[in-house]
């Protein structure tokens, strides 16, 4: 049985994917009614139950955490209880703390997957996949449009007022969020959006996954109102679910002696991407090495996860033409 | 009283200037030739 923490936009997609794959799931949410409702929905097609507390998930083989940050406390508890843990978090400080659990996870022979969502998550898979087209890669640039559920929207708001991290020729560069405008093209129907630096986890995780990268940046789309109000509390409550979102990665490197640029992207609801990626990771958790892992690294079954994501209907596109 | 009025005036001007700097500029459509093509799954 697999545990799912969170019965929101991402958690419900994770449960949907796992039940479709024939797995039994136990769902926990701070709102017990929401957990019971989701479990009842899936109990028609498979084995889905609601948990009364997080303790009920102790001892399950794997647990997916699909709620807003911080995850560190929950992950520590579940790890000590003997579970593999898949974290869909996208908060930079939380991810840094999760990565510190590496030694303990190795001791226990368990895996903690950090950043198992769209960005981070799918971005690592896309960079890994594009790497096959190069002899050597040295740059990866991520851009993201849209949000999943309300927690994701709040994180996007916080990220625009935070400090972005970028890996540049051997050192971390910190720049204010909301700066560095760049027009990024996403697969249709999303199209082009202005994207800005923001406090995203991708550079940290991509750098860990592929230490040979010399430059890694991440940007997210934002409107003028987003940027202007980023340092204020959210003026309006976030939507229950964001609309169509998109993720794109631009990878640069060498093929022979030629400098080559490849761009790949996905246009889909961000919650759906995150749910599919998290579920695919959970189903392949036995293929990971113990410790804290990030997608795209050589310690992960990237190909199996990529195939599962494609099989679940996520369509990856490659940009053909001149930028 | 005059001091507070000055402070408020200065802050108002600073906020207005920051707002203009933050939202200024207009997005221009960059030239782009090409399009998105479906990507094949990786080899087994």
- Is residue A43 classed as helix, strand or coil in its secondary structure? helix
| Parallel, antiparallel or unpaired: strands A215-221 and A163-168 | antiparallel
Task: Judge whether A212 lies within some domain.
Answer: yes
Count Cβ atoms below 10 Å from residue B21 Cβ, excluding itself: 9
Q: Which residues of A touch B (CB under 8 A)?
A: 129, 132, 178, 181, 183, 185, 187-188, 192, 194, 224, 227-228, 264-265, 303, 306-307, 310, 315-323
Q: How confident is the model at residue A124 (pLDDT cuts 50, 70, 90)?
A: very high
Give CA–CA dist A231/A228, Å, rounded. 8
Bridge partners of A196?
A220
User: Based on the domain organization, do A215 and A172 belong to the same domain?
Assistant: yes
The terminus-to-terminus CA distance of chain A in angstroms comes to 47
Q: Are A135 and A254 in contact (CB under 8 A)?
A: yes
Q: How far is CA A51 from the centre of its chain?
A: 25
Same-domain check for residues A61 and A139: no
Question: Based on the domain organization, do A146 and A160 belong to the same domain?
Answer: yes
A263: CATH: 3.30.360.10
Asked if residue A255 belongs to a domain, the reply is yes
- With vertex at residue A302, the alpha carbon angle to CA A301 and CA A307, rounded to the nearest 5 degrees, is 105
Residues A266 and A187 in one domain: yes
Q: Under 8 Å CB-to-CB from A320, ≥6 apart: which residues?
A: B34, B35, B36, B37
Same domain for A68 and A156, yes or no, is no
Q: How many domains does chain A have?
A: 2
Is A186 inside a domain boundary?
A: yes
Give this complex's ipTM.
Answer: 0.78
Interface test with B, best of A184, A190, A226, A228 (most B CBs within 10 A): A228
Confidence check: pLDDT of A265 > 90:
yes
- Across A163-167, average pLDDT: 94
A183 contact residues in B (CB cutoff 8 A): 27, 30
Residue A291 belongs to what domain range? 2-118+275-303
Convert the pLDDT of each residue in A27-62 to its tens digit: 999 999 999 999 999 888 888 999 999 999 998 999
Residues A80, A136 within the same domain = no
Here the CATH number for the domain that contains residue A50 is 3.40.50.720
- pLDDT score, position A226: 87
Which tokens hold the place of A251?
């990878």
- Asked whether the bond before A120 is cis by omega within 30 degrees of 0, the reply is yes
Q: Which helix (H) or strand (E) holds A26?
A: strand A25-28
Distance from CA of A190 to the nearest CA of B (A): 12
Put simply, whether B40 touches A (Cβ < 8 Å) is: no
Given A222, A254, A270, which residue is the final one in a domain? A270
Distance CA A4, CA A11 (A): 7
Going A84 to A86 to A87 to A92, the CA torsion angle's sign is positive
């Amino acid at each position: 049985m697999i545990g799912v923490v969170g019965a929101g936009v991402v958690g419900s997609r994770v449960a949907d994917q796992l039940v479709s794959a024939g797995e039994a799931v136990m769902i926990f949410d701070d709102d017990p009614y929401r957990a019971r409702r989701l479990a009842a929905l899936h109990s028609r097609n498979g084995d889905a139950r609601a948990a009364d507390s997080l303790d009920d998930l102790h001892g399950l083989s794997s647990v997916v955490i699909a709620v807003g940050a911080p995850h560190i406390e929950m992950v520590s508890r579940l790890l000590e209880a003997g579970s593999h843990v898949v974290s869909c978090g996208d908060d930079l400080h939380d991810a840094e703390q999760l990565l510190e659990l590496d030694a303990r996870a190795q001791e226990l022979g368990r895996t903690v997957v950090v950043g198992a969502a769209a960005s981070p998550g799918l971005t690592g898979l896309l960079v890994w996949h594009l790497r096959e087209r190069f002899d050597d890669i040295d740059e990866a640039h991520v851009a993201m449009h849209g949000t999943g559920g309300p927690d994701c929207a709040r994180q996007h708001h916080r990220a625009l007022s935070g400090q972005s991290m970028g890996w540049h020729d051997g050192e971390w560069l910190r720049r204010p969020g909301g700066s560095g405008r760049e027009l990024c093209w996403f697969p249709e129907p999303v199209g082009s959006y202005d994207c800005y630096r923001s406090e995203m986890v991708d550079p940290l995780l991509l750098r860990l996954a592929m230490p040979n990268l010399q430059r890694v940046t991440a940007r997210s789309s934002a409107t003028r109102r987003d940027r202007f109000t980023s340092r204020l509390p959210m003026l309006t409550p976030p939507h229950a679910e964001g609309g169509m979102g998109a993720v794109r990665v631009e990878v640069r490197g060498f093929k022979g002696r030629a400098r080559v640029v490849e761009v790949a992207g996905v246009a889909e609801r961000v919650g759906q991407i995150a749910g599919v990626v998290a579920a695919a990771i959970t189903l392949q958790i036995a293929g990971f090495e113990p410790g804290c892992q990030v997608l795209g690294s050589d310690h992960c079954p990237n190909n199996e996860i990529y195939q599962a994501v494609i099989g679940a209907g996520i369509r990856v596109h490659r940009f053909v033409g001149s930028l | 009283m005059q001091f507070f009025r000055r402070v408020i005036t200065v802050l108002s001007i600073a906020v207005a200037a920051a707002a203009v700097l933050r939202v200024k500029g207009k997005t221009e459509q960059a030239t782009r030739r090409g399009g998105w093509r479906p990507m094949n799954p990786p080899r087994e």
